[in-house]
Amino acid sequence: MDKLIIHGGASIEGEVSISGAKNSALPILSATLLTDQPVTISNVPHLHDITTTIELLGLMGSRITVNERMHIEIDNAQINNFFAPYELVKTMRASILVLGPLLARYGKADVSLPGGCAIGSRPVNIHLQGLIAMGADITTDSGYIRAETKERLKGTHLTLDIVTVTGTENLMMAATLADGLTIIENAAREPEVKDLANCLNKMGAKISGAGTDHIEIEGVESLHGTEHEILPDRIETGTYLVAAAMTGGMMRLKNTQSILLESVITKLTEAGAKIEIEENAISIDMKGKKPKAVDVHTSPFPGFPTDMQAQFTAMNSIAEGSGTITEAVFENRFMHVHELQRMGADLKLQGNTTITDGVEQLTCAPVMATDLRASASLVLAGLVAEGETVVDRIYHIDRGYETIEEKLSQLGASIKRVPD
């Protein structure tokens, strides 16, 4: 198992290219199951979760071509297996996203209950309740979701109990081939949901309202092939912006869009960062200063993203003053706090809130990644810690950040990957 070794204190400055969004690519890869014509997807990040999804599609009978620039062509004309096994699903919750497309196009699916990051309950019951309301017969047996429908799914009016991104995506995909109109109320508004809808509409779907909490899908008989470019990764963008803020550096991030993370940019400006916006780039300059502590309250888009909470906890730990980080989306998403405390951070947990008092200097320590974004926060802490920080179990990082050590090295960080 690889680990990262980081020597803190190096100045971070330069230009970095942002990858495509994993959380957009995964549902769009699943959406290709809705057509028997080839779909070409570009700007796909080279990540473990993407590789797992491609492996899963291949197991089902997809013919997949990947070129050196991660342009992926998927031909699903010969799907002959409707089974998503535990061995693949256990590492990645997003594999549940094949359920809706398989059920809508083939009328059956056996999908293992998902795994992924250990950050509290992300119930799949909302996916299942929605599909049952559309006419599916669903049982759970021996850790598997077994779903089938004797006839075409039926359009219906769905109101989601809680805002769920993958739930919205799964039901939206299933509804594209349903008979009649499906309305999803309390839908997730994330940019990745809108990107999926844009791709589906290119394939011939009739979706309106994506990006709002009210989505309407008029079912069609079939979808066709298309080409689609994945939108930039707003969480990777935010993570590198925080790296610049923590190190007092300056950075230009290209191939990204500020509209995807306005709440993060607002908080970084509040922390003292000078930020300039271009059409497809963002520049940040801390002018060598420490950031000021900020108060953050996570909420679904367009609020402050839960996936940036750990990074801002790391920033607050070395910032001037005190701040609070309140996690209102997932419970049990504070496992990075204990690791940051081992590095000398002054953090106190009260329920779903972390209270931070910035310290002058973090110190090196061996730390362990517990989930994807928590591991990113430990890397950021290592950039400013005194001495050598070792981050273990970095397979979590590889699920969401494309070559993070290479990109940070190009920006001047002293970081390297070593095998265990």
* Active site members: 117
Contact 86, 143 (CB under 8 A): yes
Can you name the residues that pair with 267 across neighbouring β-strands? none
293 three-state secondary structure: coil
From CA 273, how far away is CA 309, in angstroms rounded? Answer: 18
96 three-state secondary structure: helix
From CA 327, how far away is CA 352, in angstroms rounded? Answer: 5
Label each residue of 354-395 as H, E or C. Answer: EEEECCCCCECCEEECCCHHHHHHHHHHHHHCECEEEEECCH
Question: In this structure, which long-range contacts are made by residues 292-295, counting pairs with CB atoms below 8 Å and at least 24 apart in sequence?
Answer: 292/319, 292/320, 292/321, 293/319, 293/320, 293/321, 293/322, 293/323, 293/356, 293/358, 294/267, 294/270, 294/319, 294/323, 295/323, 295/324, 295/325, 295/326
From CA 124, how far away is CA 114, in angstroms rounded? Answer: 9
Can you name the residues that pair with 10 across neighbouring β-strands? none
How is residue 231 annotated by DSSP? P
How crowded is residue 143: how many other Cβ atoms within 10 Å of its Cβ? 10
